[in-house]
Amino acid sequence: MGRWIHGILITAALLLIGGFLSRSVAQGPYKLKLPLGLQEEAAYIPPDNPLTIEKIDLGRQLYFDGRLSADGTVSCATCHAPDKGFSDSRPTSVGIRGQVGERNAPVVFNRLFSREQFWDGRAASLEEQALGPIQNPIEMGNTLDGAVATLSAIPGYRKQFKQVFGTDVTAAGVAKAIAAFERTLLCGNTAFDRYEDGDDSALSESEQRGLELFQGRANCLRCHTGFAFTDERYHNIGVGVDKPNPDPGRYKITKKESDKGAFKTPTLRDIAASGPYFHDGSAQTLEDVVEFYDKGGIKNPNLSTDMKRLLLTTPEKADLVAFLKSLSCPDLKVAAPVLPPTSPPSP
């Protein structure tokens, strides 16, 4: 990886390896072309959900379709908007009837390299994740039967499900189509990637100093490791522990005392576009994030042993932020598709 430090980084890649890009012979095959900086050998596509052109197209429509929600107002793109870094620019997301959730919307790109989903890892796959918000009473407020009934009443979707899956509209099909589309959302070719590829002019002097801090004294590599800039693990860094009722995080899933207040390490790719930050959206800017780490987080019984005061100078903090901004993805653009009309046009 050019100048990138290998020893620690290979761990994340090994954790992510689990499959290879698949092709389908039953329909139009789709071969992902990964942008600079991403690693094909770390990609995972379940054997029972290979990528096809038709399936991805169906998933793109479902991703943007508010009719998956109970009142027709909330889609996947509502909380994971392409023009907002695939988040929603809110501390915590808002669902149907203006209900406010408890967690910040995680980004959905580069999920090709990840299995467990959500801040607490409660979904074992993208397919499982896709059905969660539909049934969440605060988010889409629907049922799977309700969503399937709505889609089944739309001729265009009935036709596409027959073409893609050979079945009527099903919840499993919805999940597979959305997951297939999300696996095509890839963030690479950043200034950092070009620098690692040998373009010395890709990073400014400030960004290069920030990279040195990132790799060294700032200790960012400990968790934000590998090409994906995440170890895909769960850590307690103290966010929210000082609230009256702290979010239990990973503990809610594992019931392990050591997992209290632990949340999944988010990717840092395109981080400048997806604020506010942390699982509760409590950091408004990247400068706020750096300040939080510089102070060593917030002490609590389960605080990660990697959380220590950094004592960075003001110029060093600025350099670190500059480097984080160099991880912005210039090619990650997705336009909303034309959705099938609820009723066929009149003859």
Beta-carbon count within 10 A of 73 CB: 15
Hey, which residues does 52 pair with through a beta bridge?
29
E strands, the chain, are 234-235, 263-264
Catalytic-role residue among 54, 127, 139, 182: 139
**Residue 139 a catalytic site member:** yes
Hey, which residues does 249 pair with through a beta bridge?
262
Cβ contacts of residue 31 below 8 Å, gap of 6+?
Answer: 21, 23
SS3 of 171-215: the string is HHHHHHHHHHHHCCCCCCCCHHHHHHCCCCCCCCHHHHHHHHHHH
| Residue position matching structure tokens 């920030």 | 210
The span from the CA of 297 to the CA of 265, in Å, is 15
Catalytic residues: 139
